[in-house]
Amino acid sequence: MPGVLLGDVFPNFEAETTIGKIKFHDFLGDSWGILFSHPKDFTPVCTTELACAASLTKNFQKRGVKMIALSIDSVEDHRNWSKDVMAFNDDLESPLPFPIIADDKRELSVQLGMLDPDERDKDGMPLTARCVFVVGPDKKLKLSILYPATTGRNFDEILRVIDSLQLTAQKKVATPVNWKPGDKVMVIPTLSEAEAASHFPSGVTTKELPSGKKYLRYTQP
């Protein structure tokens, strides 16, 4: 079955991009990475998405995250369309701040399970769906989200989950529903009370439950 599962080492593929040929692991270096695909250049929703990603470049950079996009279009189309993307942000001078992969033969899209069977081009070939892959510095897949071509993504949510992934990679915590940076986090269940007290000197609070089980434990990160 094509695709990459959580915890898998992300394929170290070679690809032609708007900045030349890359090898994915070399492109990432020691950084976190986000690879996101879009169905087609010169289309409305995709233009709004890449423009949003471009406007958030500094937000990704301060988190140590490198961005790279992908679709089944050619490098030439990507370069020409990039001007439209930046124009959407009323920026006619700056280049698109991240590269776009040209997967015109759909080889990478098939390998990564990125094709949308319900959205096709004029020749009847499937287009790439709106995938999001977050890859850690260890080159392993940390998060994947798959949207159909008809639904644009929320890049604020992508930043939020990156914040959660980076926090929980460093500390023995999990982030609860609707968590955002600055909120309390939850102590992971495998940590004993003594270990929790040692790990979190700011204190741990436990919510009393009818079951009597003390698994809802909160602390400040």
Q: What is the mean pLDDT of residues 187-210?
A: 93
pLDDT of 188 over the 70 cut: yes
The confidence score (pLDDT) of residue 1 equals 40
Range of the domain at 114: 14-153
Rounded Cα distance between 2 and 25, Å, is: 20
Q: What is the pLDDT of residues 97-146, one digit of tens each?
A: 999 999 999 999 989 988 888 778 777 778 888 999 999 999 999 999 99
- Interior angle at CA 164, CA 59 and CA 168, nearest 5: 130
54, two tokens: 């471009």
Rg value, the chain, Cα: 20
| 1 occurs within a structural domain | no
The confidence score (pLDDT) of residue 117 equals 80
Cβ 74 vs Cβ 105: under 8 Å: no
Residue among 1, 41, 3, 40 at smallest CA distance from 144: 3
Mark which of 153, 184, 200 sits at the end of a domain: 153
Q: What is the pLDDT of residues 28-58, one digit of tens each?
A: 999 999 999 999 999 999 999 999 999 999 9
| pLDDT band at residue 150 using 50, 70 and 90 as cut-offs | confident
CB atoms within 10 A of CB 46: 24
Q: 164: helix, coil or strand?
A: helix
| 162 occurs within a structural domain | no
What are residue 23's phi and psi, to 5 degrees?
-115, 125
Residues recognised as catalytic? 46, 138
Cβ 59 vs Cβ 65: under 8 Å: no
171, two tokens: 């500390």
DSSP 79-117: HHHHHHHHHHTT-SSSPPSS-EEE-TT-HHHHHTT-EEE
Domain count within the chain: 2
Q: What is the mean pLDDT of residues 77-100?
A: 97
CATH code, 202: 3.30.1020.10
The confidence score (pLDDT) of residue 59 equals 98
* Torsion sign across C-alpha atoms 89, 135, 181, 147: positive
Same domain, 139 and 64: yes
